[in-house]
C-alpha cells in the first residue's frame, strides 16, 4: 500500500479497489493516527514546531494512536532555548507507550545556536516505544556560536526499555549523533534498530553506554568530517560506560557495521572480571580510517567478538590496526588489515588491569604501499592464530616480547610473502616473564632484490628456550635463525614437552646447552660423523647428552 504526502488535518492514503488506485481522506483522530500538522506543526523549517509536535505526541500517547510526521523540516528547540529559566534540556521527549511514524522527507532540525546539554529526540525512563519510517535528525552543528560542551546529542536514549526503531539518520550534532545508555543500576534494555546512519558528529557518531540487549541490524557511521570545534575528523563508534562496577552483564550486537573516520574506541574497564561481563558482538565490521595517527580500534576491558573484520588505512597514518591493553578477550573469525602505518595488531599487558587474550581464525596483513606496516606485536598478551597471511610488510610479521607477564603465542600456519627487513619473527624477553612461542607450519617467500635478513631471531636465551617450531619451508634459502647479540648457542625445540622427552635442533653440542628430560633427542646443525645425533641418557639440567 503506497502512502501519499499528508496535508494538514487529514491522512491521505491509497487503496486498491477492483485493480484501481483510489485516494481517500481519513480523519486522523478517528482512524488510529495523530498528525503533527493537526496540532499546528508547519514543517517549513522556519517556524519553531516544538510545542505543536510535543502536544501531538502527548495526544497520540494518551489516545494510543500513531503519531505521524508528513514530509517537511520540523524545527525544534529545547525548553531552555525558548525560556532561559527553563530546566528542560530536551527538545522532544517521548513518553512510555508512544508510536511514531516518520514519512520519507520528514526531518527534525535543531534550532540555531543551541546551549550545552541540548538533546533533540529524547527517550528517558520510558518503555515500549516504536518508531517506524525514516527518522532523520539534523543537529545543526554549524550554527553553534557560543561556548558549549560536547553533550549536544541527536537521538538520546537513557534508562529505557523495549525500544524499536526502524531507521534513523542522525547527523551534524555538536555532541553525539546517537547516544544509548543509562546507569549501571537502571540501564537501557532491549533496544532494536533496523538501520542506523550517522555523519559528522562533534564528539562521536554512535555511543554505547549502559545498554543491554542492544541489536542493530545495519549501521553506517561516517565521521571523517566530525570532531568539534574544527570538524576535521573524529572517531565513530564509542563504547564508554562510566566506571562500570560489574554488578551485571551487558551485551550489544551489530549484524553489519561500517565506520569511516579516525577509528573506534571500545572500553568497559581494566580487569578480567569486568571484561567477562561486557560483550560487544559484531557480525561484519568494515573500517576505512584516515586523517589520524590514532589506532583504528582501541579496545580494552571487554569481550569483543567479530565474525569478519576488515580495516584499511587509506592514508597509511593509523599507528595500529587494533590496539588492546589491559584485560581483553577477543575472538575474531577472520581479520584483514590493509595499509596500516605500524603494527596491524598491538596487544600489551598492563599491571593496572591484566593482559589481552586474542583468538583469530585467519589473519591477513598487507602493506599496500605503507612504508611502516608490520604484523602482530604481543607485549605480554596471549594469541592464537589459525592462519597468518602476510604480504609486503616492512616490519616483522610477528614480534613477541614479555616484561611483567608471561605470554603465549601459537600460530598453526604462517605464510609470508615479500615481508620484513631484518626478520620475519622476533622473540624477546625482559625480567622474569617468559615468552612461549609455537609456530607449527611456516612458509617464507621473498622475491625482492633486497630480501629479509633472517626468518627467526632471538634477542634473549629465555625467548629462544620458549620457542618451538614445526615445519619451515624456505625456498629462497634465507637465514633461518639468528641470535641478535650472539651471546648464547642457538637451540630450538621441534616437538615434546618440558617434563616429557623432546626433540631439538642445536648449534654445536647440546651438552651444557639444552636443559631437557632423559629420553630427549638433539640434532646438531654443524655435526660431523658420530657427533650429529644426541640422546639425553642421564642427569638433570643440561648435562647427560651422549652422541650416537
Digit-coded pLDDT (tens) for 334-391: 999 999 999 999 999 988 888 999 999 999 999 999 999 999 999 989 999 999 999 9
Question: Any idea which residue has 616480547 for its cell?
Answer: 401
497 falls in which pLDDT band (50, 70, 90)?
A: confident
540 falls in which pLDDT band (50, 70, 90)?
A: confident
Q: With 50 as the cut, is the pLDDT of residue 273 above it?
A: yes
242 falls in which pLDDT band (50, 70, 90)?
A: confident
Task: Supply the mean pLDDT for the chain.
Answer: 92
Burial (0-12, 13-18, 19+ Cβ within 10 Å), 453: middle
- Compute, in degrees rounded to 10, the torsion defined by CA atoms 206, 212, 216, 217: 160
CB 349 within 8 A of CB 376: no
- 3-state helix/strand/coil string of 277-340: HEEEEEEEEEEEECCCCCCCEEEECCEEEEEEEEEEECCCCCCCCEEEECCEEEEEEEEEEECC
Give the pLDDT score at 430. Answer: 87
429: nearest Cα among 451, 401, 405: 401
Q: With 60 as the cut, is the pLDDT of residue 525 above it?
A: yes
**Helix (H) or strand (E) run with residue 222 in it:** strand 211-222
294: nearest Cα among 229, 330, 336, 341: 341
In this predicted model, what pLDDT tens digit does every residue of 406-431 receive, in sequence order? Answer: 899 999 999 999 999 999 999 999 88
Q: Which of 178-182, 239-243, 358-362 has the lowest mean pLDDT?
A: 239-243
Percentage of residues of the chain with pLDDT beyond 90? 86
Strand boundaries in 392-489, DSSP class E: 398-402, 407-417, 423-429, 435-445, 454-458, 467-473, 479-483
C-alpha cell of residue 271: 580487569
Residues with Cβ within 8 Å of 105's Cβ and at least 6 positions away in sequence, in order, are 5, 71, 72
A 10 A CB-CB count for 518 gives 12
C-alpha cell of residue 394: 616492512
Give the pLDDT score at 371. Answer: 95
5 falls in which pLDDT band (50, 70, 90)?
A: very low
CB 99 within 8 A of CB 66: yes
* Separation of alpha carbons 64 and 85, rounded Å: 33
Amino acid at each position: 500500500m503506497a502512502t501519499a504526502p499528508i496535508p494538514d488535518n487529514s491522512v491521505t492514503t491509497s487503496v486498491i479497489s477492483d485493480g484501481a488506485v483510489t485516494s481517500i481522506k481519513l480523519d486522523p483522530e478517528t482512524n488510529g493516527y495523530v498528525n503533527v500538522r493537526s496540532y499546528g506543526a508547519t514543517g517549513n523549517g522556519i517556524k519553531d514546531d516544538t510545542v505543536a509536535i510535543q502536544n501531538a505526541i502527548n495526544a497520540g500517547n494518551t489516545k494510543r494512536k500513531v503519531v505521524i510526521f508528513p514530509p517537511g523540516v520540523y524545527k525544534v528547540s529545547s525548553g531552555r532555548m525558548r525560556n532561559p529559566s527553563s530546566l528542560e534540556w530536551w527538545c522532544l521527549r517521548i513518553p512510555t507507550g508512544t508510536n511514531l511514524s516518520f514519512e520519507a522527507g520528514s526531518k527534525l532540525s535543531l534550532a540555531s545556536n543551541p546551549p550545552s546539554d541540548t538533546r533533540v529526540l529524547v527517550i528517558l525512563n520510558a518503555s515500549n516505544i516504536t518508531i517506524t519510517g525514516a527518522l532523520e535528525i539534523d543537529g545543526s552543528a554549524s550554527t553553534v556560536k557560543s561556548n558549549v560542551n560536547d553533550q549536544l546529542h541527536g537521538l538520546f536514549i537513557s534508562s529505557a526499555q523495549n525500544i524499536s526503531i526502524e531507521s534513523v539518520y542522525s547527523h551534524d550534532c555538536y555532541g553525539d549523533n546517537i547516544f544509548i545508555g543509562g546507569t549501571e543500576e537502571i540501564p537501557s534494555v532491549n533496544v532494536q534498530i533496523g538501520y542506523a546512519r550517522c555523519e559528522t558528529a562533534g564528539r562521536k557518531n554512535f555511543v554505547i553506554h549502559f545498554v543491554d540487549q542492544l541489536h542493530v541490524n545495519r549501521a553506517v557511521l561516517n565521521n571523517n568530517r566530525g570532531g568539534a570545534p574544527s570538524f576535521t575528523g573524529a572517531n565513530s563508534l564509542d563504547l564508554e560506560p562510566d566506571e562500570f562496577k560489574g554488578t551485571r552483564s551487558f551485551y550489544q550486537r551489530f549484524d553489519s557495521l561500517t565506520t569511516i573516520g579516525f577509528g573506534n574506541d571500545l572500553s568497559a574497564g581494566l580487569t578480567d572480571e569486568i571484561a567477562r561481563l561486557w560483550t560487544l558482538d559484531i557480525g561484519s565490521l568494515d573500517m576505512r580510517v584516515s586523517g589520524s595517527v590514532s589506532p583504528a580500534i582501541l579496545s580494552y576491558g571487554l569481550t569483543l567478538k567479530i565474525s569478519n573484520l576488515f580495516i584499511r588505512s587509506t592514508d597509511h597514518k593509523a599507528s595500529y590496526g587494533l590496539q588492546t591493553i589491559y584485560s581483553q578477550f577477543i575472538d575474531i573469525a577472520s581479520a584483514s588489515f590493509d595499509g596500516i602505518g605500524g603494527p596491524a595488531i598491538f596487544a600489551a599487558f598492563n599491571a593496572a588491569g591484566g593482559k589481552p587474550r586474542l583468538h583469530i581464525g585467519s589473519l591477513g596483513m598487507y602493506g599496500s604501499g605503507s612504508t611502516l606496516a608490520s604484523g602482530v606485536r604481543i607485549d605480554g598478551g596471549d594469541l592464537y592464530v589459525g592462519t597468518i597471511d602476510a604480504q609486503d610488510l616492512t616490519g616483522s610479521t610477528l614480534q613477541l616480547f614479555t616484561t611483567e607477564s608471561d605470554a603465549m603465542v601459537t600460530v598453526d600456519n604462517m605464510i609470508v610473502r615479500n615481508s620484513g627487513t631484518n626478520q620475519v619473527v622476533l622473540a624477546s624477553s625482559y625480567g622474569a616473564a617468559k615468552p612461549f612461542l609455537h609456530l607449527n607450519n611456516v612458509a617464507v617467500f621473498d622475491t625482492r632484490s633486497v630480501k629479509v635478513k633472517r626468518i627467526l631471531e632471538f634477542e634473549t636465551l629465555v625467548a629462544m628456550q620458549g620457542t618451538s617450531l614445526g615445519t619451515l619451508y624456505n625456498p629462497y634459502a634465507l637465514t633461518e635463525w639468528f641470535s641478535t647479540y650472539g651471546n648464547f648457542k642457538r637451540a630450538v625445540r621441534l616437538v615434546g614437552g618440558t617434563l616429557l622427552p623432546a626433540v631439538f635442533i642445536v648449534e654445536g653440542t647440546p651438552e651444557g646447552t639444552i636443559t631437557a628430560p632423559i629420553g630427549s633427542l638433539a640434532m646438531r646443525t654443524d655435526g660431523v660423523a658420530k657427533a650429529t645425533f644426541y640422546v639425553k641418557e642421564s642427569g638433570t639440567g643440561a648435562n647427560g647428552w651422549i652422541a650416537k
